[in-house]
Amino acid sequence: MAMRKQVADKAGVSEATVSRVFSGSEAVKPKTRDRVLQAASELGYVPSELARQFAKRRSGNIGVVLPYLPKVQLFSTYYFSEILGGISEAAREHGADLLLLQRSPDERREYELLFRQRKVGGLIVLGARDGEEEREALLELERNGHPYALVNQRMDGLERRTVEADHLEGSRLATAHLLEQGWSRPAFIGGPPDYSNSRDRLLGYRDAMSAVGADRIEPLVGNYSRKSGLEMAAAAARLIRGGEADALAAANDRMAIGLLQGLRQLGLEAGRDYGLAGYDDSDGARLTQPALTSVSASFDEMGRLAAQLALGELKRPPGKLPPRLVERESSRRRGV
Amino acid sequence: MAMRKQVADKAGVSEATVSRVFSGSEAVKPKTRDRVLQAASELGYVPSELARQFAKRRSGNIGVVLPYLPKVQLFSTYYFSEILGGISEAAREHGADLLLLQRSPDERREYELLFRQRKVGGLIVLGARDGEEEREALLELERNGHPYALVNQRMDGLERRTVEADHLEGSRLATAHLLEQGWSRPAFIGGPPDYSNSRDRLLGYRDAMSAVGADRIEPLVGNYSRKSGLEMAAAAARLIRGGEADALAAANDRMAIGLLQGLRQLGLEAGRDYGLAGYDDSDGARLTQPALTSVSASFDEMGRLAAQLALGELKRPPGKLPPRLVERESSRRRGV
DNA sequence: CTGTTAGCGCTTTCAT
DNA sequence: ATGAAAGCGCTAACAG
């Protein structure tokens, strides 16, 4: 299997030259180059990526850490596949491969280990939370100068590593839209505050309310699952029936959909009895009846940027990506 | 960075012994073992996975090939993430890592190359089609004795490598269910016949129809996207209004949802004017109004099995996995 | 532009 | 049970 030797002989060159031809790094005379390529193709020789990585002491892989996703789906699969798509494209352009690291429930976050094992040359952490353990693991990467990226999660001191959309602005857009549609008292349905994301979205809601001098309503808090949306429906119905709120700005689509379904069972229809807006513009937003108004952030673009950070190709992310409102029926005022 | 040497010195053993301790292959006296482990942990030594793989001439990775997914989504992200979840679990149990290989639109299918490059030690192909190029690429794996697995796609001569659910039975279940609910003339909405899957589902429909001596209606054919469902709505409406059909058994949820939405615009409601069943029991089935009756196959279990095949741990897949009918409102006859 | 020569950090005989 | 030594298939100086 010392195939490279054979190729070298056949082309009448040394093994080093064969190597040069394939790595493309150094200059080789076109003529010898062709001879080598010819010989290689005849013999069916392909360099071992493994040996190459070993010799260079670096794996060309970029690791993607996915959070543990139990049956109760907090995130939509849509969200991750969009991001993954973007990562995948950028990685391909740089000849990097993706190592998928699905987190198990117990498992410690030993991100640095992945680098020491030479399994990855860069890391992207999806669905990180703002906790002590996570921060510790990330700080260790920082200390060792390992390239990594966080998506949609800011952490103190690690801002340079975060790729995100301007979720404050996105949430503001959604709330402002509800107000423009003539719903005068939108309430906010938020997510767990250990995602910076959740906090931003709440702030956006407040901004929009302040801008028109509207009273803020105490937000309901769910966990981003559809189930939690269903569970909050009763409380939301009370707000609506009691006249305290006439619209709901949810921090993600899944909760919005749960609310839409739960409120329907209680006799309240989105677009007729209250205005509803979600966030993420997931697949599901197009499937409900009425279709869900939502906010779209370019997840694939975020994936691309994260990959560039993890490849060390980008020093720090550009500003926050601008979200866009996607208007559908759930927020429009239908005749009664 | 010749860290292993330091560990060896500190523990008073040779480098070979350090290696033995970490690879766990050969027997080492417990006492020396402990000394080595102690020294290693003090020095923060971790063996390079890259060097190990190189020395063994095999990467422990299992590659997962994902089809190119353009904007128009033919498959649901749900489908792939369920399968990936199963693969990921099984891989973890065997200490293998997942290399994600997203296919680009143009790219040739050079599966065998991945093995020669030593990038993967096993391969799982998702979303394969029954075409000449695909078959050729797979046959080459077969010839070279490389372990791989196909998910939900049978191909002549490669049956041993296919993990799938019994989609004929699943489709039969769905159609039979519609008949039991009192819809006497269900029509079938199929997918492209270059998926064995599509052909099986059509057969299942026919079986169920034959079993009750019902006349088969000429099936409509879409491409598994919601859009194609929307586009077929007009034709479906004609069938229903013309009295030729009173129910629809769709080959997947996305088309079913498109039909449900398209038919609604034409004034026809699922569960009232016609019965509707989808297939896959995707996330979306729970989001529509009425909720979609569907057929659930254990995608994560299929992922597990595929991983075992790709790891060479399973010689051939067990029989086809049994699907299960999930009854919701779209197929139930509501009072008019 | 090309050949020579060391490694890269492990695993794996083969001895002892 | 452990040590010594020879690779694994490349890259990377260093010459020429």
Instruction: Say whether both A143 and A22 belong to one domain.
Output: no
Instruction: Say whether both B65 and B150 belong to one domain.
Output: yes
- For residue B148, what are the β-bridge partners? B123
User: CB-based burial of residue A228 (10 Å sphere; 0-12 exposed, 13-18 middle, 19+ buried)?
Assistant: buried
Residue A15, CA: closest nucleotide via C1'? C3
Q: What CA–CA distance (Å, rounded) separates B305 from A279?
A: 36
Instruction: Say whether both B111 and B32 belong to one domain.
Output: no
Identify which of B49, B98, B284 has the shortest CB distance to residue A287.
Answer: B284
Instruction: Say whether both A235 and A289 belong to one domain.
Output: yes
- Residue B62's pLDDT is 96
Residue A116, CA: closest nucleotide via C1'? C9
Instruction: Say whether both B216 and B106 belong to one domain.
Output: no
Write out chain A residues lying below 8 Å of B61, CB-based.
99
Residue B57, CA: closest nucleotide via C1'? D8
The nucleotides of chain D lying under 7 Å from a protein CB are 1-5, 7-13
Report the chain A residue with the minimal C-alpha distance to residue B93: A104
Measure B14 CA to D5 C1' (Å).
12
Instruction: Say whether both B141 and B192 belong to one domain.
Output: no
CATH of the domain at B10: 1.10.260.40
Low-confidence ranges of chain A (pLDDT < 50): 72
The answer to whether the C-beta of B336 is closer than 7 A to strand D is no
Identify which of B47, B89, B117 has the shortest CB distance to residue A48.
Answer: B117
User: Could you tell me how far CA A91 lies from the centroid of its own chain?
Assistant: 15
Q: What is the pLDDT of residues A63-115, one digit of tens each?
A: 999 988 765 466 778 889 899 999 999 999 999 999 999 888 777 789 999 99
The nucleotides of chain C lying under 7 Å from a protein CB are 1-5, 7-13
Would A199 be classed as within a structural domain? yes
Write out chain A residues lying below 8 Å of B116, CB-based.
46, 48
Would B318 be classed as within a structural domain? no
- Residue B223's pLDDT is 94
Percent over 70 (pLDDT), chain B: 97
Q: Which of A246, A251, A104 has the alpha carbon at shortest distance from A170?
A: A251
- Residue B1's pLDDT is 54
Classify the C-alpha dihedral A135-A141-A143-A148 as positive or negative. negative
Instruction: Say whether both A189 and A94 belong to one domain.
Output: no
Write out chain B residues lying below 8 Å of A76, CB-based.
283
The answer to whether the Cβ–Cβ distance between A50 and B119 falls below 8 Å is yes
Identify which of A50, A64, A101 has the shortest CB distance to residue B118.
Answer: A50
- Residue A69's pLDDT is 73
Residue B4, CA: closest nucleotide via C1'? C9
Task: Determine the structural domain holding residue A25 and report its residue range.
Answer: 4-54
The answer to whether the C-beta of B48 is closer than 7 A to strand C is yes
pTM for the model stands at: 0.94
Instruction: Say whether both B120 and B221 belong to one domain.
Output: no
Instruction: Say whether both B122 and B245 belong to one domain.
Output: no
Residue B2 pLDDT more than 70? Answer: no
**Structure letter (DSSP) for residue B285:** G
Would B319 be classed as within a structural domain? no
Would A45 be classed as within a structural domain? yes
Instruction: Say whether both B82 and B142 belong to one domain.
Output: yes
Would A241 be classed as within a structural domain? yes
Provide residues 2-21 of B with CB closer than 7 Å to any strand C atom: 2-4, 15-16, 19-20
Q: What CA–CA distance (Å, rounded) separates A277 from A260?
A: 10
| Mutation choice for B interface testing from A49, A50, A74, A120 by most B CBs within 10 A | A50
Residue nearest to nucleotide D11 (CA to C1'): A55
- Per the structure, the count of domains in chain B is 3
Q: What is the pLDDT of residues B57-114, one digit of tens each?
A: 988 899 999 988 765 466 778 889 899 999 999 999 999 999 999 888 777 788 999 9
Would A336 be classed as within a structural domain? no
Would A259 be classed as within a structural domain? yes
Report the chain B residue with the minimal C-alpha distance to residue A256: B287
CA geometry: angle B291, B293, B297, nearest 5 deg: 125
Would B316 be classed as within a structural domain? no
Instruction: Say whether both A10 and A130 belong to one domain.
Output: no
CATH of the domain at B124: 3.40.50.2300
Q: What is the pLDDT of residues B270-298, one digit of tens each?
A: 999 999 999 999 999 999 999 999 999 99
Report the chain B residue with the minimal C-alpha distance to residue A73: B283
The answer to whether the Cβ–Cβ distance between A50 and B51 falls below 8 Å is no
The answer to whether the Cβ–Cβ distance between B116 and A46 falls below 8 Å is yes
| Phi, psi for residue B102 in degrees, rounded to 5 | -80, 130
Mean pLDDT of chain B: 93
- Residue A119's pLDDT is 95
Percent over 90 (pLDDT), chain B: 83
- Residue A27's pLDDT is 78
How sure is the predictor about B199, in pLDDT bands with cuts at 50, 70 and 90? Answer: very high
CA geometry: angle B77, B83, B88, nearest 5 deg: 120
Report the chain A residue with the minimal C-alpha distance to residue B287: A288
CB atoms within 10 A of CB A298: 17
The answer to whether the C-beta of B28 is closer than 7 A to strand D is yes
Instruction: Say whether both B160 and B305 belong to one domain.
Output: yes
Q: What is the pLDDT of residues B126-177, one digit of tens each?
A: 988 888 999 999 999 999 999 999 999 999 989 999 999 999 999 999 999 9
| A211 to chain B, closest Cα gap in Å | 34
